[in-house]
Structure 1
Amino acid sequence: MTDEVGGLVRGGFYQMFQAGAIVWSPPTGAHISTGGIRVVWGAGGYETGQLGYPTTDEIGPLANGGVHQLFENGEIIWSPTYGAYSCTGGIGRTWAALGYEAGPLGYPVGNEHAVAGGAIVQDFQGGLPGLRQPGPWPRFTSRPAAGIGPDGNFLLTPSLGGP
């Protein structure tokens, strides 16, 4: 537990409590930060990292007991089975368009990471048909899908090259 601590990016403050923190910034207001979501946010640099400040408290329950928290530049999703992972950018937007954890991808099971050739991928519980790569989990690339074909697989945008 601490007193309020200032001097964060863009005029932010935080205060630690036994079970987490309350983080405040002028553009986002005050939000609670706890548990596995806080651990992932901290590993990414807290408010100075890619996600920025939280814009909501934890939201839930989601499918199978999960929760998520929105940030300025993405979100962190936690499930009791897979733990907490961030989801941002084109991958996050496509995951949202497909129905988040209730859609065909299910929950993320890993963070975004680079693979050979420079592609950024993220592993999901259900993967994406047509965007699979070898490995323990199907992988979804940030390459956008152009739609769903007659066989139920995603049609890839041809101008962006292969995954």
Structure 2
Amino acid sequence: MTERMTRIARRSHPNAARPDEVHATRVDRALSWSDFRAAVRYDPANRLLVAVPAISAKRAEHPWLGEATGLHTRIGTADAYHREFTHGSVYWSERTGAHEVHGAIAERWKAEGGEASFLGFPTTDEQPSRGVASVRGDHAAETRRGRFAHFEGGSIYWTPLHGAAIVHGMVRDIWALLGWENSALGVPVGDVVVDVESGVHRGVFERGSIEWSPARGPIVSVIAPAASDALDVEVEYDGVGRLQTGFAPQATQA
């Protein structure tokens, strides 16, 4: 395939105002790899040449992001870049690739410090929650709808009723083994809280809680079915049992 390439050359031209004036000539010929290297001053260490097509591909995957509102911008001194769009942002790093963030989850992530926080860069795009609870009322249906995104150091889950909550550390790992929001615990209702003195990590969920400490290990508490009826939701209690044999949490009924 032949493409039209503009060659910029520095030369003396009869009509040039100065001997070093830059002018352009257009030529027709097949573009080669060496042409590309020369055109962009190719440097294997310049990760922008990887980030730009990755960010562009992610934008094409999610056209609802809208038009770009800024240039590709390097993040600090790291080999990482981002670009802002009308309805969100796309972040790229060597470790995580390109992923979009937007809405309430993006706001919460940036409020924590964004990629400079313990959460790090996004490792997934924002996705809908996968809860399978059988809903018997409009209010319960609204509480079950939500979104989430995973990051290097944790996850952010958002629901209309509880807002955006950060789950991380061993609480997140245990909850993941149980089945995430599809488990008997449901979605988080607040951030995981860490007691620095005791080392206890505690996360509260719709229908129970998870605690973990180096001394005691994990403790999973699930609200009894009678109590969960107040939420007007039918729950499958299969998550804790799967975890007991290999992971041995101390499961209790609240």
Give per-residue Cα distances to partners, 1:33-63, cap 9 Å, x unaligned: 1011111211221111111101111122422
Provide the secondary structure at the position in 1 that maps to 2:173.
helix
Q: Which amino acid aligns with 1:52?
A: G
Q: Which amino acid aligns with 1:109?
A: V
Q: Give the whole-Å Cα distance in 2 for the aligned partners of 1:86 and 1:60.
A: 16
Provide the secondary structure at the position in 2 that maps to 1:96.
helix
**Cα RMSD, aligned residues only:** 2.4
Q: Give the whole-Å Cα distance in 2 for the aligned partners of 1:60 and 1:89.
A: 22
Q: Taking every aligned residue pair, what percent have the same amino acid on both sides?
A: 31
Which structure's CA Rg is the greater one? Answer: 2
Q: How many residues align?
A: 141
| Alignment partner, residue 54 of structure 1 | 122
| Alignment partner, residue 155 of structure 1 | 250
Q: Give the whole-Å Cα distance in 2 for the aligned partners of 1:9 and 1:44.
A: 20
Q: Which amino acid aligns with 1:30?
A: A
Provide the secondary structure at the position in 1 that maps to 2:171.
helix
| Alignment partner, residue 123 of structure 1 | 204
- Greater Cα offset, 7-16 or 48-57: 7-16
Q: Give the whole-Å Cα distance in 1 for the aligned partners of 2:196 and 2:84.
A: 41
Q: Give the whole-Å Cα distance in 2 for the aligned partners of 1:88 and 1:120.
A: 9
Identify which of 184, 189, 213 aligns with 1:109: 189
CA shift, 1:145, in A, is 4.2
Q: For structure 2, list consecutive stretches of 5 or more residues without a partner in the other structure.
A: 1-68, 132-143, 221-239
| Alignment partner, residue 141 of structure 1 | 211
Structure 1 residues 90 and 36: alpha-carbon distance in aligned structure 2, compared to 1, 3 A threshold:
same
CA shift, 1:79, in A, is 1.7
1:80-99 paired onto structure 2 within 5 Å: 80-99=160-179
TM-score (norm 2): 0.50
| Alignment partner, residue 69 of structure 1 | 149
Provide the secondary structure at the position in 1 that maps to 2:190.
coil
Q: Give the whole-Å Cα distance in 1 for the aligned partners of 2:121 and 2:196.
A: 31
Q: Give the whole-Å Cα distance in 1 for the aligned partners of 2:73 and 2:163.
A: 29
Q: Whose helix fraction is larger, Structure 1's or Structure 2's?
A: 2
Whether contact under 8 Å (1:9, 1:47) holds in the other structure is no
| Alignment partner, residue 100 of structure 1 | 180
TM-score (norm 1): 0.75
Whether contact under 8 Å (1:9, 1:48) holds in the other structure is no
Q: For structure 1, list consecutive stretches of 5 or more residues without a partner in the other structure.
A: 129-139, 157-163
Q: Which amino acid aligns with 2:93?
A: S
Give per-residue Cα distances to partners, 1:101-142, cap 9 Å, x unaligned: 1212111111122359532212211114xxxxxxxxxxx312
Q: Which amino acid aligns with 1:11?
A: D
